[in-house]
Amino acid sequence: SSIRKPSSYGRGLFPKSQHAPLSEPNCSAISTRHGLRSPTSIASVSQIIRWHGGGPGPDAPTVNITFINPDDSKTPITARVGETLLQTSHRTGVEMEGACEGVCACSTCHIILEQDLYDQLSDEAEHGALSEDEEDMLDMAFGLTQTSRLGCQITVKENMDGSVFMMPKATRNFYVDGHKPTPH
């Protein structure tokens, strides 16, 4: 077998002054094959890598929110500021599917917001609109409404205290109908 020279693709992504040693967990998979200068140094790890199962720790500030389930029952929960609604639901046992595990590649974490919250989040969004990826995935959502969003794309904030989120009556899972993945 031959030895491959490291590709020059991606060299110089970050000025040397921005490099910092990796100190966060789950960073061992970073390698030069991904175009990074070094397997042990990149700038602002948390801005580049999306952590699986991560989110704020148990000491994070919390807010009280309510999910309205598909059967119209209400589930009040305590959400951690900084986690997504999908992470919140998985952590607290609310049945929000999230087949793609929160990478905006499906519509199974579809959630319906109250109009005021939807407007507020739209105002805070870049260019006042949803990302193109989220819009594309919402096009596949069951029961789409004017205030539909994906739970993996909504980060819990302190001003969400008392918010109510409605779960749609069903989801469209292209993997296997009835399959409910568990986060790892």
**Residue 93, phi-psi category: left (phi > 0), alpha (psi -120 to 50), beta (remainder):** left
Q: What is the pLDDT along the chain (184 residues), one digit of tens a residue?
A: 445 444 433 333 434 444 444 433 333 333 333 444 434 433 333 333 344 556 788 889 999 999 999 999 999 999 999 999 999 999 999 989 888 889 999 999 999 999 999 999 998 887 778 899 999 999 999 899 999 999 999 999 999 999 999 999 887 765 555 555 565 5
Which tokens hold the place of 132? 């193109």
Which is it for strands 164-166 and 62-68: parallel, antiparallel or unpaired? parallel
Q: With CA atoms as reference, report the closest residue to 175 among 136, 127, 140.
A: 140
Contact 171, 144 (CB under 8 A): no
